[in-house]
Structures are given as C-alpha cells and as structure tokens.
C-alpha cells in the first residue's frame, strides 16, 4: 500500500546541496518548507531552484511551502548578557528601549505592550521558562511579578498567551519575504501567529493583488487562534498545528487533545492539516528516533493529519535523509494499523451537514461506491482542487488521483492526504476526458488492467465550480 500521509521537510544548511535534496525527494519528501525566519533571500532562491531541479530529476512533484516569520517579540539586550530573575520579585516591563535590560527593568520590543496588556495577564520568556504576571501599569510601563524565575538572557523570545496583540499580521520583513516568494511562484504560504480570520484575509489580499493562485496555510500556535478556528477555516486553504509556540502559550497537557480537535476540524472542512514541531527531534544528532517520537508521529497519522513536518531534523540535523526514511517507515506502519481497525469511511453521512454543496455529496458517494465495487482508485477531474479535498477527507482505502488543467493545483495537492495529481488539458467531451484519465492510469501503471476505478467529473466537462457526476469504469 502506498503511503498516504505526506512528509514536509524544512530545508536549511544541512540540506542545501542539490544531491542531498535529490536524496530527500527519493526518500519521500513531498513538501519542501522554506523557513524565512532564517537564511538570506539568496539562499532561499537557491534552494527553491534546486528543489525543482531535484523533483524533475526524480520524476516527482514537490510542493514548495514558504513559511513567513511573523511578528516575533523578543527581550532586548541584557546587561552582561544575563541577569537572574527570582520568584516573587517585582520588575518593570517597558517597550521604551533603555540602554540595556537589567534585573529590575526589562525591555520587550513590542511597541503596544503597555497599551495591550491588562492586570493578571502573563508574559512568558525563553520558551516559557520564565513567567511574569502583570500587576499594574503606569506612565513608565508595566509592573509585574516574577512567577517563574531563572536566568534572563539577551534577545530571548517572548510569548503573550493572554494578550490580544495589536500587531499587524505581517511585518515589513514578512512583506518583503512574501514578495520574493510570489516572484518565485511558491505553491503555498504559511502565516505565523494567526489570531483571527482577518489575519488570514490580509495575506490573501496581498496574494490576490499580485494575481497569484497561491494557497494559504494558517499556523495555529496561539490560544486565540484555537478559539477562532471556525472563522479561520472559512478563509484559509489549510492549517498547521504548530505545537512549539502552542505548547508554550497553553498548558502542555492540553496540547494533545487540542491537536486532535484541530485535525478533526480541518478534516470536516476538507482543509489539509500539517502537524509540526519536534516530531523526530532527537535525530538532529542521533541516527535513530526515540520510541516516544515514533509514537508521536504514529499518533499524528492516526489522528488524521494530512502531513507531518520535520524542522531542525532536516534543516540543521546530522542525518537529514535518514530521518525522512525513518518517518516514512513509521507512517506506513501506522497507516497499516489504521486500515486494519477501520470499519467505515472517516466522515459518515450523518456527519455531513444537510445542504452541503453537490460536490461534497458526490465526493462521499464516490468514496462509498469505490469501497462497494472494489475499485482500485478514486479519480477526479478538478480545476481548483476542491473535489480532491472533498474526496480525501473521507480517507478512502484506495488512492486518490486528481486530474487538473492547472499546473499550480498539481503542486498544491502534494500536501493533501492520499492524493497524487496529474496535469491534463481538459477535453470538451466527457468520454474523451475519461479516456484520458484511463490513459494516464495505464501509462503510470497506477492500476491493473481490467480493474475498476470511480471517476468524478463536472458535466459538461469544462465546467468550473462543480462536480455533479460519478462514473464507474474498467481500465483497459
């Protein structure tokens, strides 16, 4: 059985060479992530070009994901590089830069901090190792009590889990990075620190201004985004469960359940979900993952993730190819178990809301019909990729093959569970279109001659915006 869950690899210093990238593709990389929190524009341009060269050499489509840094908040320079904060101490927090941060006066580079913060809200520093609680404010800044002490070092990151920050969703750096990404024709863009629907809409607006058909991934890493998930899902093309900052901003014991709810919500809305952060972290140095890491990856697969992501493991790790091979093996075993235990399609008919559009209903029918007639594949002709997403959310036991006349959609569907996409010019005649699907299936040896396939299509064939027909046929 082919692997259904996709693998996202972050590229970095350890994965810049063309030969290394080609080996990643051969090992199973489906999506190449360009993390714009690090690296120069020149480095990213080089990696994008090499990913495309490697994918072509391997005869595979690799989706290119640009990940914008977002409004990262940090502590200023600390006197002597480090000061000790002790539990119970009172400190002043300001966004007006002094010459240096001291033990009793802490500078945080967020201009609206004093305006946005309220009494009782938390300020977390250095991945949550240090915790301050706001006790009041005056003209000179915030007053806060140290709840969790320890060494405070220069330029450490700051999280504000209780504070609805008023920063724009994209910084000047993000806008410049986005301009480069759109020039490079990246397939999808991930937006960091999303809080609400309007944050995603701001990115979509920028993309539309450039007349680019680039999809958007909303990174869910703040409690505000979890609360506003339904509204965010209405405007995003997918989400990322970014467990790093999410695990700082909410109690760590809540993260596993939140992960499951986020994945389920994405599946219900036919929006792909990437599960990310520290999945095989020990393999940054070690040649084998821990048993706990293997279980983490497997459970993300069993939860229904469309894709699982590697970060430092492939960007700066010592075993970038080996870690992809390990993740590939873990995913395959988890999927084998999942299919052994499964009794029905993931989205049962009673879970589909009455009044959902025709494409959703036809997609469910196609999956159920494919199971009943023993089809070897579910195929769809789609212009936007929406039909492929509607089919994939049901997690059929056979592969999903999408056929589109849009090259960008071919690449974007590389992120979607269980789906392989092909470019074909659409025919005016439905029978010709179905014959072309059969031809591609035969050319690529995707199904056995004589086997049944289920095909969804919008009639008349060049129709845009709707799938209304299910066709069962045997491939000759």
Active site residue ranges:
33, 74, 219, 277
Helix (H) or strand (E) holding 91: strand 90-94
Nearest-angstrom CA–CA distance, 257 and 246: 12
Q: Are strands 307-310 and 6-11 parallel, antiparallel or unpaired?
A: parallel
Inter-residue contact 182 to 210 (CB < 8 Å): yes
Reading the block at residue 283, the tokens are: 């393999």
Nearest-angstrom CA–CA distance, 403 and 384: 10
Residue with token string 């938390």: 122
Reading the block at residue 127, the tokens are: 């991945």
Inter-residue contact 157 to 37 (CB < 8 Å): no
Cα dihedral 363, 366, 368, 369, rounded to 10, equals 170
Q: Closest by alpha carbon to 6, among 194, 180, 188?
A: 188
Nearest-angstrom CA–CA distance, 133 and 15: 41
Nearest-angstrom CA–CA distance, 338 and 246: 27
Cα angle 370, 393, 265; round to 5: 155
φ, ψ (nearest 5 deg) of residue 268: -60, -35
String of DSSP letters for 250-305: S-GGGHHHHHHHHHHHHHHTT--EEEESSSSGGGGT-SS--HHHHHHHHHHHHHT-
Residue with token string 């506003």: 228
Residue with token string 């490079």: 184
Nearest-angstrom CA–CA distance, 251 and 225: 15
Q: Closest by alpha carbon to 416, among 434, 396, 439?
A: 396
Q: Phi-psi category of 154—alpha, beta or left, where left has phi over 0 and alpha has psi -120 to 50?
A: beta
Q: Closest by alpha carbon to 304, among 241, 357, 251, 361?
A: 241
| Cα→Cα distances 130→84, 124, 147, 148, Å | 10, 6, 8, 5
Name, in order, each residue with C-beta under 8 angstroms of 112's C-beta and a sequence gap of 6 or more.
95, 165, 166, 167
């Amino acid at each position: 059985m082919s692997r259904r869950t996709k693998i996202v690899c972050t590229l970095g210093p350890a994965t810049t060479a063309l030969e290394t990238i080609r080996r990643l593709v051969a090992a199973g990389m489906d999506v190449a992530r360009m993390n714009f929190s690090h690296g120069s524009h020149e480095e990213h341009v080089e990696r994008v070009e090499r990913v495309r060269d490697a994918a072509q050499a391997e005869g595979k489509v690799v989706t290119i994901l640009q990940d914008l840094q977002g409004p990262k908040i940090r502590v200023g320079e600390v006197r002597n590089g480090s000061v000790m904060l002790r539990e119970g101490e009172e400190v002043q927090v300001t966004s007006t830069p002094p010459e240096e941060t001291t033990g009793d006066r802490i500078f945080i580079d967020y201009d609206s901090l004093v305006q946005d913060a309220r009494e009782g809200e938390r300020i977390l520093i250095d991945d949550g190792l240090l915790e301050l609680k706001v006790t009041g404010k005056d003209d000179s800044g915030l007053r806060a009590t140290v709840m969790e002490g320890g060494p405070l070092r220069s330029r450490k990151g700051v999280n504000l889990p209780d504070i609805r920050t008023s920063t724009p969703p994209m910084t000047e750096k993000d806008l410049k990075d986005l301009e480069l990404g759109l020039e490079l024709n990246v397939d999808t863009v991930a937006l960091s620190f999303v809080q609400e629907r309007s944050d995603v809409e701001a990115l979509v607006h920028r993309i539309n201004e450039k007349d680019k058909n680039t999809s958007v991934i909303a990174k869910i890493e703040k409690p505000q985004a979890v609360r506003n998930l339904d509204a965010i899902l209405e405007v995003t093309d997918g989400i990322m469960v970014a467990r790093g900052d999410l695990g700082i901003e909410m109690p760590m014991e809540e993260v596993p359940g939140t992960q499951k709810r986020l994945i389920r919500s994405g599946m219900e809305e036919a929006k792909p979900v990437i599960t990310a952060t520290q999945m095989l972290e020990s393999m940054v140095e070690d040649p084998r993952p821990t048993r706990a890491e293997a279980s983490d990856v497997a459970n993300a697969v069993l939860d229904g993730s469309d894709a699982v992501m590697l970060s430092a493991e492939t960007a700066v790790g010592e075993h970038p190819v080996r870690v992809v091979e390990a993740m590939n093996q873990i995913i395959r075993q988890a999927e084998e178990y999942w299919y052994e235990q499964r009794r029905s399609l993931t989205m049962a008919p009673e879970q589909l809301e009455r009044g959902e559009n025709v494409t959703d209903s036809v997609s469910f029918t196609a999956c159920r019909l494919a199971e009943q007639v023993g089809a070897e594949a579910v195929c769809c002709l789609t212009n936007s990729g929406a039909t492929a997403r509607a089919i994939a959310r049901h997690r059929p036991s056979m592969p999903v093959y999408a056929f589109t006349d849009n090259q960008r959609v071919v690449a974007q569907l590389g992120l979607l569970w269980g789906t392989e996409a092909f470019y074909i010019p659409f025919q005016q005649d439905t029978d010709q279109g179905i014959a072309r699907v059969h031809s591609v299936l035969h050319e690529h040896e995707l199904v056995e001659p004589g086997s049944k396939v289920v095909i969804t299509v919008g009639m008349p064939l060049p129709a845009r915006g709707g799938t209304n027909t299910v066709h069962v046929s045997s491939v000759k």
